[in-house]
C-alpha cells in the first residue's frame, strides 16, 4: 500500500520553486540590461568618470560609500577617500580584459536601482548611502547562501582594502613601516 502524500514544510524550497526563482532573477537581469539599451543609455555607451580609467560615476559613488564601511579610518578623511577611489580605479584598469568584464557586470548590476534594492538591500542611490547601510550590504552578501554574492562581497572588500592600503598615510596604521629606502632609491633611480 502506497504511503499517503505528505506536503513538505513551507520553509523547504522545492526544485520547481528554485527554478522559478532562478527564472525570475534571469528575467529581471535580462530586462534590466534590455531597457537601458532600448532607451539609448546602454552601459556600453557610458564613459569612465572624469579622471578615471575604468570606474564610471556610479561606480565612484559605490566605492565612496563602501570604503568607509571597509576601512573605519576613512569615515572622516575626504582627501584620502578620493585617493583611495583613484587607487581602486587604477587597480581595476590594470586587470586583464576578462576580469574587467566580470567586474563591470557586478558594478552594472549594483547600479540598477531595483536590482540593487533586491540583492543588496540598498534602495537609494549609492551617493545617499551611509556607512551602516554599506556595512549591512556587505554583511548580507558575505552571509548569503549564494556563492556568487559571497564572491561579489569579497571582490568589493578586497578592491576597497587595496585602494586604501596603497596610500602611504595608511601604512603606519597597518604596521607597515614603508619601503626600504635603499631599495626604493635603487628601483626608482
60 has a pLDDT exceeding 90 = yes
Check residue 73 and give its pLDDT.
72
Contact 89, 53 (CB under 8 A): yes
From 99, 110, 100, select the one nearest 65 (Cα to Cα).
110
pLDDT of residue 11: 45
Ranges of each domain in the chain: 47-170
Question: Phi/psi of residue 100, each to 5°?
Answer: -65, -40
Least confident of 3-12, 22-31, 101-110: 3-12
CA–CA dist 172, 177 (Å, integer) = 6
Per-residue pLDDT, 28:
63
| Cα maximum dimension of the chain | 88
Closest CA to 142 of 124, 120, 127: 120
Lowest mean pLDDT among 70-79, 89-98, 122-131, 170-179: 70-79
- The confidence score (pLDDT) of residue 8 equals 47
Radius of gyration of the chain, Cα coordinates, nearest whole angstrom: 21
- Cβ burial of 97 (10 Å; 0-12, 13-18, 19+) is exposed
Amino acid at each position: 500500500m502506497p504511503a499517503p502524500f505528505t506536503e513538505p514544510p513551507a520553509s523547504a524550497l522545492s526544485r520547481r520553486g528554485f527554478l522559478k526563482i532562478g527564472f525570475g532573477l534571469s528575467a529581471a537581469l535580462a530586462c534590466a540590461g534590455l531597457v537601458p539599451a532600448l532607451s539609448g543609455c546602454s552601459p556600453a555607451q557610458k564613459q569612465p568618470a572624469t579622471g578615471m580609467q575604468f570606474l564610471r560615476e556610479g561606480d565612484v559613488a559605490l566605492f565612496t560609500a563602501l570604503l568607509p564601511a571597509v576601512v573605519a579610518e576613512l569615515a572622516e578623511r575626504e582627501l584620502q577617500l578620493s585617493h583611495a577611489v583613484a587607487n581602486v580605479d587604477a587597480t581595476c584598469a590594470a586587470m586583464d580584459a576578462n576580469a574587467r568584464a566580470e567586474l563591470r557586470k557586478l558594478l552594472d548590476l549594483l547600479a540598477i536601482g531595483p536590482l540593487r534594492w533586491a540583492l543588496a538591500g540598498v534602495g537609494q542611490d549609492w551617493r545617499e548611502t551611509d556607512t551602516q547601510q554599506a556595512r549591512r550590504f556587505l554583511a548580507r552578501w558575505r552571509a548569503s547562501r549564494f556563492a556568487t554574492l559571497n564572491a561579489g562581497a569579497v571582490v568589493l572588500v578586497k578592491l576597497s582594502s587595496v585602494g586604501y592600503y596603497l596610500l602611504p598615510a595608511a601604512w603606519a596604521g597597518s604596521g607597515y613601516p614603508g619601503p626600504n629606502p635603499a631599495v626604493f632609491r635603487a628601483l626608482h633611480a
